[in-house]
Structure formats: C-alpha cells, structure tokens
Amino acid sequence: MTDFVNLGDAVNQFPTLTQSAPHVSRSGRYHVISTAGVLQSLEAEGFAISAVTEMRTRKADRVGFQKHLVRLRRFDAPTTGEGAPEVCLLNSHDGSAGWVLFAGFIRFACENGLIFGDAFLSQRVRHSGDIVGKVIDATYRVVNDFDTVAASVDTMRSTLLTADDREEFATRAHAIRYPDPDKAPVSPSALLVPRRVSDVGADLWSTYNVVQENMLRGGASQIGIGTNGRARRRTMRRITGIDANVSTNRELHALASSYIRAA
C-alpha cells in the first residue's frame, strides 16, 4: 500500500497545520513554526504524510491551535507485506503539547496504526530555537529505532500464547480502557474476536493487533441486561481523541512487551 496524503490537501482539511502564531496564553518565549512548514522540510527529506488527526475542541479560542497528530512514512520505506514503520509527530500551538515524535507501525489490513510506547523511542523538541532542524534530527533518531520496531514485531509473531495467556491479555487490556469493569459495555472476551480471517492466531502479534483494533475502532458488542431488566445490545465506542488514542496504544504496547519478556 503506497497511498499518501498530499500536503496541500492536508492543510486544507486541517487548518491547525498552517498556524504560525502562538495562542494568546503563551509567553513571548514560545516560538511557533507552522507544522506545515516542518512537514514541507520533512517532505524534502523523503517523508510523506500517511494520516492526520486533529483534536476536537469546543472552545472557540482554541480552534486552529489545538493538538494534532501526523503520521509519516518514508517514500521508500520497506514494508513487510502486512505493514510498515512510521514516525508519529504530535504538536500543538496552545501549550497542550510540545513537539513529540515517536515510532509507530501501520497495518495495511486495517489501517489502524500501532504506536510503540517505549521511552527510548520518543523524542521531544521544545518550542524554541531552530525548531525545523531539531524536528528533522529527532525524526531521524526515531527512524534509527525502526530496527527495534521490526525486531519487536518479529518477536511477537514468534511468541505463542496459551488460551489462558490470551484471556489474561484481554482482561488486562480491558482494564486499560475500562478501569471500572462494571461500566464496560462488553466483557474482555469480546476484545479477542478477530475482524478478518488473516487475524486468527494464537501468537502474541495477532492477539495484540486484534485487541488493539477492537479497543481503538470500537464496534465490539454483546448482549447484556439493562437497568430495566431487559436484554439489550451494548457496543464499544470508537476512541477518537488523540490523547486517549496515544495513551491506549502505548499502554497496550507495554502490555504486549511484558509477554515477550515472560515468554
């Protein structure tokens, strides 16, 4: 899969990308370079946009300054046939986030990006000084970690889980999304239901991806008993917020990694 998002189309759809002034809440030391300007420089370095997400805001004064997440992939990025490593770039112009870059992996089957959460895979750049140069340097440091990402994927593929392991994995993942299980619309077992035949498997990689897709995209459902005592179908909602997406992704990766160490 080689479809990329044109930078011109991205800035037309997400005006936050072209913001070149800080929010009024920021001090004079807060240096702003438009995200689009940085992306243009990264494009010249051989990177292309694969996806853009912009945080929703109900505050009128925050529109155009809010947090946004851009996923990037090299034009010549090697793929596994199933997916490819990516650089995830997080930024805002209202102080809610600095420049943060971390590694990810996009699965072409579902276009649902995994974010790898190890601390050493993250790079941060302050809103000061030569932002463009610092972000480009940070991007390459993340790219240098792609071998670590690939090795992690291979190890997960070769790690087989027992039925009890998979149930435990689902239960622990369920607790990430629903700390109070009584308020959850579905039980942990619903997270293990694959959406396609190719995802069926007892290995850690398959289990991780099935659970991650169900948690992020929502849609998993079960019949439960409502407050009126009648049976009703309850369905998981999709995670749409950037913060919730990133934190859930990172916690799931940490959870999956714990099974590698235990294997």
- pLDDT per position as a tens digit, 213-239: 999 998 888 776 666 767 778 889 999
Distances (CA, A) of 159 to 37, 171, 252: 42, 19, 16
Would you state the pLDDT for residue 35?
92
Structure tokens at 213: 């897709």
Query: What is the DSSP secondary structure assignment for residue 203, as one 8-state letter?
Result: B
State which amino acid sits at residue 216: L
More confident residue, 174 or 30: 174
Would you state the pLDDT for residue 161?
96
Would you state the pLDDT for residue 263?
45
Query: Residue 207 above 50 pLDDT?
Result: yes
Would you state the pLDDT for residue 60?
75
Contact 214, 199 (CB under 8 A): no
Percent of the chain with pLDDT over 90: 44
Q: What is the DSSP string of 176-192?
A: HH-SSGGG-SS-GGGGG
Mean pLDDT of 119-137: 80
Would you state the pLDDT for residue 169?
98
The stretches of the chain forming alpha helices (DSSP H) are 7-13, 35-44, 131-143, 146-158, 163-177, 204-217, 242-262
Q: How confident is the model at residue 81 (pLDDT cuts 50, 70, 90)?
A: low
